[in-house]
Amino acid sequence: MWPPLVILIAGVVAGIEEERAPVGAPQGSKPLLSTAWLTGAQGTFAVVGVLSAVVLGWGLWESRHLPYVDDVGTLLAHRRVGDYTLAMSHLFDLTFSAFAALRLPAILAAIALLIGPALGWLLRVKGKHLASTISVALTMAVFLIAAHIAFARFDPMLGSKRMADTILAKATPADTIIIYGEQSEGSSIIFYTHHFFGKPAMFVYPRCGQHGEGSPLLWGSCYPDAPDIFLSTEKLSSIWGKGERKWLFAQDLNQLKAESLLAGRLIQVQSVADKALWTDRPLP
């Protein structure tokens, strides 16, 4: 929804700057909105920018003596605010040690938010509306570059491509991938490997009517022709180490469940941030 929303906002901003009358209004009608609207919005943006820059500066100062670590995920607190069902839950996991790995994007964002919005507000007050809008665009461009750098630093925690690459390098198409928990937790593993295996992954999660639990895939699992891809913990334990090679992926607390269930029978292949990958027999 963001691109059309941005286009609509840009149209309104341009209309105010050009002092356009409402569509269909008689010649000489008053503009739809006064430029005072833009000045007020720019002032609010300037205040938010300065406050954000202060928060980022505080984080940089507190983490100034802490070493840079590649894997940000290992430094997060895992406070499980809202059990991670809220959009910003992981924000509360950010520690100063983890912030030390984000110095470059934090510095870029702080500089952009400290200077850009305030400069834009001054230009708006002086009536230089086009220059003010350009300053907003440049500010957001720098901020998005900083956000992209930070996103790349969080990749080990947010994505699982490293583990998918490991599987593709060592597996055969006859092997089976098993996700311990929700499909969403291992969705990137499935995304990167499904063409190679040519069959659906399996999930250690109750299917329709079992144990009174359900997953986002519950509805589809209730159909009689649904593929038999849901495993109970008992079923996983019984097939582990038998038949074709199994690859087991688990994230966060599900790691402890898998280790408890298959104690002494797991061969760890890789561990990245809060994710683990095991197989059921030694690799050649």
Residue 49 near residue 114, CB atoms below 8 Å: yes
189 and 252, same domain (yes or no): yes
Within-domain flag for 194: yes
Compute the half-sphere exposure of residue 38: CA atoms within 13 Å on the CB side of its CA: 30
Domain boundary residue among 122, 157, 192? 157
pTM of the model: 0.68
**Residues found in the chain:** 284
Q: CA gyration radius for the chain?
A: 26
146 and 172, same domain (yes or no): no
Within-domain flag for 188: yes
171 and 152, same domain (yes or no): no
Residue 142 near residue 211, CB atoms below 8 Å: no
44 and 166, same domain (yes or no): no
Domain boundary residue among 102, 130, 157? 157
pLDDT tens-place string over residues 153-188: 878 777 888 899 999 999 999 999 999 988 888 889
205 and 272, same domain (yes or no): yes
Within-domain flag for 7: no
* pLDDT score at 216: 73
27 and 146, same domain (yes or no): yes
**Phi/psi at 269 (5° precision):** -100, -40
H/E stretch holding 24 reads none
DSSP structure string for 104-166: HHHHHHHHHHHHHHHHHHHHHHTT-HHHHHHHHHHHHHHHHHHHHHHHHHTHHHH--HHHHHH
Within-domain flag for 116: yes
50 and 119, same domain (yes or no): yes
Domain boundary residue among 157, 182, 197? 157
139 and 17, same domain (yes or no): yes
Of residues 220, 169, 215, the one with CA closest to residue 192: 169
The 10 Å Cβ neighbour count of residue 241 is: 14
* pLDDT score at 56: 92
* pLDDT score at 273: 78
64 and 190, same domain (yes or no): no
The structural domain count of the chain equals: 2
Within-domain flag for 274: yes
Within-domain flag for 210: yes
The 10 Å Cβ neighbour count of residue 123 is: 19
* pLDDT score at 115: 94
Which residues of the chain are under the pLDDT cut of 50? 211-212
Within-domain flag for 144: yes
- How far apart are alpha carbons 16 and 38 in whole angstroms? 8
Q: Which domain holds residue 38?
A: 12-157
DSSP state of 91: G
* pLDDT score at 176: 92
92 and 114, same domain (yes or no): yes
149 and 54, same domain (yes or no): yes
DSSP state of 170: H
Within-domain flag for 229: yes
84 and 40, same domain (yes or no): yes
* pLDDT score at 78: 66
Report residue 49 as tokens.
């920018």
| 16: Cα separation from own chain's centroid | 35
